[in-house]
Chains A and B, each alone.
Chain A
Amino acid sequence: MLIPLQHNTFRFFISLILWVSLAEGIHSQNTNNKVNVDSNYIRSPFLKGIRVELDVSPLVSTFILGTEHYQWQAATQFHLRNQYLPIVEVGVSGSNIHTPSGIHYRTDGLFYRVGLDISAIRPANDRQPTNHLLLVGARLGYSGFTYELNNIVINDPYWNRSEIRNGMQHTTSRFWMEIVAGLRVEIFTRAYLGWSIRYKSLFGYDVPGAYKPLFIPGYGMNNENNWAFSYLIGYKF
């Protein structure tokens, strides 16, 4: 059964609100804890903050370019000692494609990614840490989704019969990995702007002849590899 877009979007924003609430709580906890300050050495706390960010690149790709696909995603990233930054990403994505053969492909679905970034900017002894981030990392992505196929035309010219198949629904899931590089600049206090570029590689393969998914939420077109670009705004708690 096809997952309605509205339902996915609702779940996506509920998840986002929960993350923001979690991040606010941790920030309050950090401000209540005293950090020992040495005159010559400032020890960095283990958790330096939580940054929440939203990919705003769909504002261009979806609404201006009018593509057949849409994708909205948000992320929560944990700053551990200003070097290691585990991240959880969640989003909703879909497509509505009319293929050259006339087959109409439609899907909507949630996707999830977990991973780790490493900051390439490491100030000596952490004395004057910069809040800007040059990140390289990896992700493991997952999406479980339903796709619907319509207008599959099959002709039998000799036996003089034709059929058009509609409403064929398939449910499946896919895993993939990503290598990510990006930059985050603190434009105002705690407010970040940045971009990421991703190289994605799909796990597994499709059985020849099967009605494989044409588009995978969070991964993109069902190619062996994909590239993606994100433009992000964020806030650090």
Chain B
Amino acid sequence: MQRGTTNALTLQSLSVRGMNRDSLLYNNQSNVRAMILPLNRFNQVSIFICTMNGITDTLSIYHTNNDFLISYACGVVIAHQIDTILTTNHFIEKVNIIEPHVNTATTQHLQIFH
């Protein structure tokens, strides 16, 4: 989001990886307006290194994890409840939690302001 507005900002480039992970979730991807990040299913915090328009921030998402049985035929997934967001403020100004409950539904959970 652009500072002071609710207009979505288009990033010219975005690279994201998890802390202590080598594989990139986004690899210098251009024209990005939204990103999908996998929360850690076994730890209470998921830390991402985000480089947006060449500026790097660390995004720490604190959450709880709960088993969610879809069905005995399909098995179990992990649902999350986002508690707190901590971030450095090089590119990111602040992060708002829109929907703290994370499950199989596709919806917006966070808003990142620049």
Q: Once bound together, how far apart are the Cα atoms of A214 and B74, in whole Å?
A: 13
Residue of B43, B68, B69, B73 with highest tally of chain A CB at under 10 A: B69
A contact residues, range: 20 to 34
Interface of B is mostly: strand
Is A156 part of the contact surface with B, judged by Cβ < 8 Å? yes
Minimal Cβ-Cβ distance residue in B for A155: B41
Quick one: closest A residue to B70, CB to CB? Answer: A209
Interface size class of chain B, counting residues whose CB lies under 8 Å from the partner chain: 20 to 34
- Interface SS, A side: loop
Query: Which interface residue of B42, B43, B66, B79 has the most chain A CB atoms within 10 A?
Result: B42
The verdict on A209 contacting B42 (CB below 8 Å), with A101-B74, A103-B75, A154-B76 known, is no
Contact of A34 with B by CB under 8 A: no
Nearest-CB distance from B21 to chain A (Å)? 7
Task: Please report the number of residue pairs spanning A and B whose Cβ atoms sit closer than 8 angstroms.
Answer: 58
CA distance A82 to B38 in the complex (A): 68
**Smallest beta-carbon distance B79→chain A, Å:** 7
Contact B79 A209 (CB under 8 A): yes
Given A154-B41, A158-B25, A159-B41: A211 in contact with B69 (beta carbons within 8 A) = yes
Q: Do A211 and B42 touch across chains, with their CB atoms under 8 A apart?
A: no
Cα distance, A10 to B24, chains bound together (Å)? 60
**Is A6 located at the chain interface by the 8 A CB criterion?**
no
With both beta carbons as reference points, the residue of chain B lying nearest to A105 in the complex is identified as B72
**Cβ-defined contact, A163 with B42, below 8 A:** yes
Q: Cβ of B69 and Cβ of A210 under 8 Å apart?
A: yes
Minimum CB–CB distance from B44 to chain A (whole Å) comes to 12
**B59-95: contact bitstring with A at CB < 8 Å (1 yes, 0 no)?**
0000000111111111110110000000000000000
List residues of B whose CB falls within 8 A of some A CB. 18, 21, 23, 25, 38, 40-43, 46, 66-76, 78-79, 103
27 contacts between A and B (CB under 8 A): A99-B73, A101-B71, A101-B76, A103-B72, A103-B75, A152-B67, A153-B75, A154-B76, A156-B40, A156-B41, A156-B42, A158-B21, A158-B23, A158-B25, A159-B21, A159-B38, A159-B43, A159-B46, A161-B42, A163-B42, A209-B69, A209-B79, A210-B69, A211-B67, A211-B69, A212-B69, A214-B72
